[in-house]
A = this chain, B = another copy of it.
Amino acid sequence: MLYHTQQEAAKNGFITRQMREAAQYEGIDAKILMDMVACGNAVIPANKNHKNLLPKAIGEKLKTKINVNIGISKDSSNQNEELKKAHLAIELGADAIMDLSTSGNTRAFRKALVDTTALLGSVPIYDALVFYKKSLKDINAKEWLDVVKMHAQDGIDFITIHAGLNRQTVQRFKNNKNRITNIVSRGGSLIFAWMEMTGNENPFFEYFDELLEICREYDVTLSLGDACRPGSINDASDACQIEELITLGELTKRAWAKDVQVIVEGPGHMPLNQIETNMKIQKSLCHGAPFYVLGPLVTDIAPGYDHITSAIGGALAAWHGAAFLCYVTPAEHLRLPNAEDMKDGIIASKIAAHAADIAKGVPNVIQWDNQMSEARQKVDWKSMFSIAIDPEKAKRYREESKPEHEDTCSMCGEFCSMRNMNKILNGENVNII
């Protein structure tokens, strides 16, 4: 059939090639995935102009996906370096790449990215500032939308649009004096500044229907940005955040009415004990649209280790319903990540995603763990290395400190429980000293 978007096809009972391929990756029936896409519980971000895409679906009941941010900027302007990072990220297991470029020849870079297989995302308003080369306040509503259209034409699969920060939420933000860190979303703060400087309504809220037309034409998935996501433990789950989420839920319904696929973005910084509730309130307010979280970081005190603070929060979030985790690197809050930071961020994020998938019972994911445990029980180092999430690091660590006995490691030596249990269960004596 002819269709505009994956959701339109799904609503008409048509299984697209993308649904088949994405379902195969999940190990589920394509019909089941089609039903999820039809009702909005899953999305397949697949711009018609992204020819090299390896389609993957994002949804609560599917494997948790992870996103990696890259981009050229004034402080990191080498396009080839960033492109190399994108390829490395995909090799390391990134499902999606978001291009957050803020300087340079952003269009050329974006087009180079479209040659990759990952789900590609962008934040068009960053690019508008580069593209128009004029003051923020002088960009008009039509121009904002034109940049969205350019990204759609260029083949971007999902775009972050901060359409929920309308005048009413801005008022609530201003009345709310409890926040320590104000608006920490980059795009959100730009829209806020634009609204303050021009006195206008948020252009993406005001012209949401026009935005949907663009998304529908190219099948661009809307990633509804949360301008008011909390940037500190203190600010989590406050009135601004929840009011914006209500609006995002309303916009979700409007998008679905035009068959536009939707992801909703979420926190942020958040204490452990608020995460489950946040996932549930998002599901309820946003009618089951997939939740895309940045973190949550469960404490503010650990710059240099925010891949860990976010792995803790991300694991919990994904277990309780988030479908898509934006990676966070050790460089968060400090500087642009280098390739090593990126690797640390990806692995921490994949650990969180996998731990959540085990907990929510995604079929077959636990086999990975069982294979590792079987290799451990046999003290089979070669298999342990090949199964490990990072074979190189595991191997390097062991080789840095070889033990006296090959069937142990230097941590426990002869006290190795695996070795001793194998001996005693085998009828042999265990003798240590």
Contact = CB atoms under 8 A, between A and B. Distances in A.
Contacts of A355: 271-272, 298-299, 309, 312
A348 B182 CA distance: 28
Contact of A376 (B232, B335, B366, B384): B232
Contact of A304 (B180, B188, B397, B404): B397
A392 B365 CA distance: 38
B404 A74 contact: yes
Contacts of A91: none
Given A75-B401, A185-B417, A315 B373 contact: no
A74 to B, nearest CB: 5
A304 B373 CA distance: 15
A336 interface: yes
Contacts of A347: 302, 305, 308
B186 A412 contact: yes
Identify which of A193, A300, A307, A370 gathers the most chain B CB atoms within 10 Å of its CB: A300
Given A335-B411, A355-B271, A388 B302 contact: yes
Contacts of A185: 417
A190 B415 contact: yes
Contact of A312 (B352, B376, B400, B424): B352
Interface of A: 73-76, 102-103, 126, 129-130, 132-137, 180-186, 188-190, 192-193, 196-197, 231-235, 269, 271-273, 298-305, 307-309, 311-312, 315-316, 319, 330-337, 347-348, 351-352, 354-356, 358-360, 366, 368-370, 372-374, 376-377, 384, 387-390, 393-394, 397-398, 400-401, 403-404, 409-418, 420-425, 429-433
